[in-house]
Amino acid sequence: MVRPTRPLARAIPLAARTIPLRSTTNGKSTNGKSATGRRPAMTAAATPPESNRLLLDAAVDWGLYIDGVRQEQQDFDAACAIARGGEGFIWLGLHEPTTNQLNQLGDVFDLHELALEDASNNRQRPKIERYDDMFFLALRSLAYIDRDDRIGEGLDGGDIVETGTIMVFLGEYYAVTVRHGRHASMRGLRRRLEQDPEQLALGPSAVLHAVCDKVVDDYLAVVDQVNEDIEEIETSVFSQRRITDVERIYQLKRDIIEMKRTTSPLAGPLHELAHRAQGLVHPDIREYFRDVEDHLIRVREQVQSYDELLGSILQAGLARLTVSENEDMRKISAWVAIAAVPTMIAGVYGMNFDYIPLLHNPWGYPAVTLLMLTVCGTMFRGFRRNGWL
């Protein structure tokens, strides 16, 4: 069936999720889409409304896989036609596509407009959505920023953890990944999976599992690196030098909160993929999702413990600061008391009176000086014995 002629680009709202109501007639909406929000499917013989060159500009890589083996590079439209005919599947990876490119992606693979709207949001919360014969999974990636890199970029004292967004469109004959952010890298994933054709032969769900496994493994790596920072801060707070960098502790606590926001919402989608039968997920792949879920549980437990530990370190650091300030005040008070004795005696003998003891005595000055030294020495010894000095 020939597709109706219509402009390719549609404005996809990036923030607002308000969907205008459309009137329908005989199951068709007045703007040419079906009443369910799906696009008319493009058959193998159909010609795309325009070249896929615009879409492939955002592609990092793509390939046609038959029986787990990547086929020789060929025309993208022809590869899609082969996969749509039931032979193999297409794996397409996109990085920060534009609105027009997402629209064209929807035309090629008949994607739901709500899923495309979510894919345009670079701060999308982890979730899974079903749309008839496809589903959409959104994940958040984590990356640890080394101190040297932060200093090199002028970010010393800034975030040590940064996030990215990864979305996966999964259908019977395609797996499409959409990445946002420089720290949402899937480097080496395709090559590693291509080295295991038996796993890749299980279909597009093998790509879905590989993406989830890579993201959660990155969580584990970041958690271990953050743990080293926490141990360093803990050592500095309780060291003899008593260095308490409250700003660094607070910044790290903010990063831990961001890690919780990234990892916690993913528990629901992974549990569903691991324990509920999915038509698009191969039964053998579902077993691997249980392992990914176990790793995520470990990450969430560690992040929660880090949050509590940082709270305790922060309270202990503030308490030590308070104790240190009290010690300083005691030292100051002790020296002021010692200095007050000679000041008082000197003040008495500085008054203009004729009748003051020892005023005209030749031994008066040495006697008063010895008295001041004796009293000050006695007070110093007493303060030192009591730990004030």
Tens of pLDDT, residue by residue over 267-297, are 999 999 988 877 888 888 888 999 999 999 9
For the CA atoms of the chain, what is the radius of gyration?
A: 35
CB contact set of 129 (below 8 Å; sequence gap of 6+):
114, 115, 118, 135, 136, 137
| pLDDT for position 263 | 92
The pair phi, psi for residue 96, each rounded to 5°, is: 50, 60
CB contact set of 353 (below 8 Å; sequence gap of 6+):
359
Residue-by-residue DSSP string for 149-195: HHHHTT-TTS-SEEEEEEEEEE-SSEEEEEEESTT---TTHHHHHHT
Residue 105: name the closest of 94, 114, 172 by CA: 94
Residue range 136-162, pLDDT digits in tens: 999 999 988 876 655 555 444 456 888
Please give the model's pTM, rounded to 2 decimal places.
0.71
Residue range 302-312, pLDDT digits in tens: 999 999 998 88
Structure tokens at 208: 């879905």
Residue 141: name the closest of 167, 118, 116 by CA: 167
Residues in the chain, overall count: 389
> Up-side HSE of residue 230: CA atoms within 13 Å toward CB?
23
Residue 184 — very low, low, confident or very high, per pLDDT cuts 50/70/90? low
CB 83 within 8 A of CB 89: yes
Higher pLDDT pick, 353 / 271: 271
In the sheet that 89-95 helps form, which strands lie side by side, from edge to edge?
A: 69-70, 59-66, 89-95, 174-180, 161-170, 134-144, 127-131
Residue 68, classified by CB atoms within 10 Å of its CB into exposed (0-12), middle (13-18) or buried (19+), is middle
Residue range 308-352, pLDDT digits in tens: 998 888 888 777 777 777 777 878 888 888 888 888 877 777 777
Residue 6, pLDDT above cutoff 70: no
Amino acid identity of residue 215, one-letter, is: V
What CA–CA distance (Å, rounded) separates 312 from 262?
A: 23
What CA–CA distance (Å, rounded) separates 275 from 283?
A: 10
Helices (H), the chain: 53-56, 76-84, 99-109, 113-119, 147-152, 189-194, 197-200, 204-237, 246-263, 267-275, 283-349, 364-385
Domains and CATH numbers, the chain: 29-320 (3.30.460.20), 333-385 (1.20.58.340)
